[in-house]
């Protein structure tokens, strides 16, 4: 079998099965057929295997042997008005299909019938009425019996799959985050400075632009920030900006729970949806009577929908307690 190639239809994997077989035809000419009075005539055909490998227990050496018999007057008294054509192999394990064709000297075919009876017979049989056959081959009295064989040896199935579907090692984003964190903390190859609360933080323009649409717009070549490689945020605490940058480099925020409100505002400002979602989740799990109203205002300011929804539900369920706390706050 040729090497497996991809199927005609696009697929991720496929199988190909080949049935190993060969076809063989044999012509047996009998002259003077109408004068034959014997029980049967016999010849044989040896077929050399041309498909490799073939199970050796089906072969006589390198050949399969088929015996062909012609019963001119049936094989018993009850069917003496019929002529039988029989073929069988030298081994019972051989798999084959057979077909007889009967011709006269003018190459005219006479129809035959396949034996489908319940009587157990050895091999494959076809038959024809003897008087019809004798009449068909006159005046030459020459019968040409053609045997067509299809021999099946075995089947071979091979499977394959698209190389792109083969096992590929998992990606290692943690390695990237670790290396970028080291670059950020060490300030190596930094080409931009962020000033927050009067303190400087070195950064890399490519990281800022890739992570934040706001920084990407700020660092367009024509802007003052890009020309000066520097930006000042007097309204952002240094620790908040430091944590924000760490998230932009690594996707992590170790101190999120300590500054969730400030980071939610900063994430909304610099369009960092991942950090905003993380801060939103922390705040929603931390709703209490004393902070619910504050969180609601903050959520409304920064379009934190889930936090706003949870805060409204919390306030509705704890309205009396919240009113009491608010009253004491203003009275104290």
pLDDT mean over 261-270: 96
Question: 150 with 41, same domain?
Answer: yes
Bridge partners of 145, per DSSP, are 28, 102
Check whether residue 88 and residue 57 sit in a common domain.
yes
Q: Band the pLDDT of 73: cuts 50, 70, 90.
A: very high
Instruction: Say whether both 74 and 179 belong to one domain.
Output: no
- Distance separating alpha carbons of residues 300 and 151, to the nearest angstrom: 82
Q: At residue 59, does pLDDT exceed 50?
A: no
Say whether pLDDT at 54 is over 50.
no
What does the pLDDT look like over 269-282, one tens digit per residue?
999 999 999 999 99
Same domain, 85 and 213: no
User: What is the pLDDT, as a whole number, of residue 84?
Assistant: 94
**Are 154 and 189 in a shared domain?**
no
Query: pTM score > 0.85 for this model?
Result: no
| Whether 202 and 227 share a structural domain | yes
Read off the CATH number of the domain in which 110 is found.
2.60.210.10
85 in the same domain as 202: no
Residue among 149, 135, 141, 133 at smallest CA distance from 71: 133
The string over 86-95, giving b where at least 16 C-beta atoms fall within 10 Å of a residue's C-beta and e elsewhere, is bbbbeeeebe
Better-scored residue on pLDDT, 232 or 331: 232
Residue 306 forms part of a structural domain: no
Please report whether residue 92 resides in a domain. Answer: yes
Domain of residue 82 covers 18-158
pLDDT at 58 over 50: no
- Any domain includes 12: no
Pairing of strands 124-129, 113-114: antiparallel
The answer to whether residue 307 sits within a structural domain is no
Outline where the chain has alpha helix (H): 130-136, 173-186, 205-211, 213-218, 224-228, 238-250, 260-269, 273-285, 292-301, 305-317, 319-331
Do 22 and 129 have their domain in common?
yes
End residue of a domain, out of 134, 158, 182: 158
Rg of the chain taking only CA atoms, in angstroms: 46
| Distance, CA of 109 to chain centre | 53
Q: According to the model, what pLDDT value does residue 207 have?
A: 96
Q: How many domains does the chain have?
A: 2
Sign for the pseudo-dihedral over CA of 268, 271, 275, 278: positive
Check if the beta carbon of residue 274 is closer than 8 Å to that of residue 248. Answer: no
């Amino acid at each position: 079998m040729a090497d497996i190639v991809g199927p005609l239809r696009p697929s991720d994997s496929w199988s190909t099965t080949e049935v190993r077989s060969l076809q063989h035809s044999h012509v047996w000419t009998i002259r003077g057929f109408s004068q034959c009075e014997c029980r049967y005539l016999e010849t044989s055909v040896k077929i050399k295997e041309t498909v490799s490998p073939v199970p050796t227990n089906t072969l006589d050496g390198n050949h399969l042997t088929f015996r062909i018999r012609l019963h001119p007057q049936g094989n018993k008294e009850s069917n003496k008005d019929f002529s039988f054509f029989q073929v069988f192999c030298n081994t019972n394990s051989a798999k084959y299909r057979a077909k007889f064709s009967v011709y006269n000297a003018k190459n005219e075919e006479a129809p035959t019938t396949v034996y489908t009876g319940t009587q157990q017979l050895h091999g494959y049989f076809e038959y024809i009425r003897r008087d019809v056959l004798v009449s068909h081959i006159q005046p030459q009295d020459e019968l040409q019996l053609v045997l067509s064989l299809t021999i099946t040896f075995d089947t071979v199935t091979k499977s394959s799959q698209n190389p792109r579907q083969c096992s590929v090692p998992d990606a290692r984003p943690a390695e990237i985050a670790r290396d970028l964190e080291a670059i950020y903390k060490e300030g190596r190859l930094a080409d931009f400075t962020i000033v927050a609360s009067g303190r400087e933080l070195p950064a890399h323009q490519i990281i800022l632009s890739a992570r934040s649409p706001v920084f990407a717009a700020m660092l367009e070549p024509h802007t003052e920030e890009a020309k000066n490689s520097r930006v000042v945020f007097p309204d952002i605490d240094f620790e908040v900006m430091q944590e924000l940058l760490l998230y932009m480099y690594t996707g992590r925020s170790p101190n999120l729970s300590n500054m969730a409100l400030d980071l939610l505002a900063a994430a909304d400002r610099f369009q960092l949806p991942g950090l905003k979602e993380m801060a939103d989740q922390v705040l929603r799990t931390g709703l209490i009577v004393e902070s619910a109203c504050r969180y609601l205002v903050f959520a409304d300011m920064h379009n934190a929908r889930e936090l706003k929804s949870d805060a409204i539900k919390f306030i509705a369920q704890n309205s009396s307690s919240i009113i009491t706390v608010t009253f004491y706050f203003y009275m104290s």
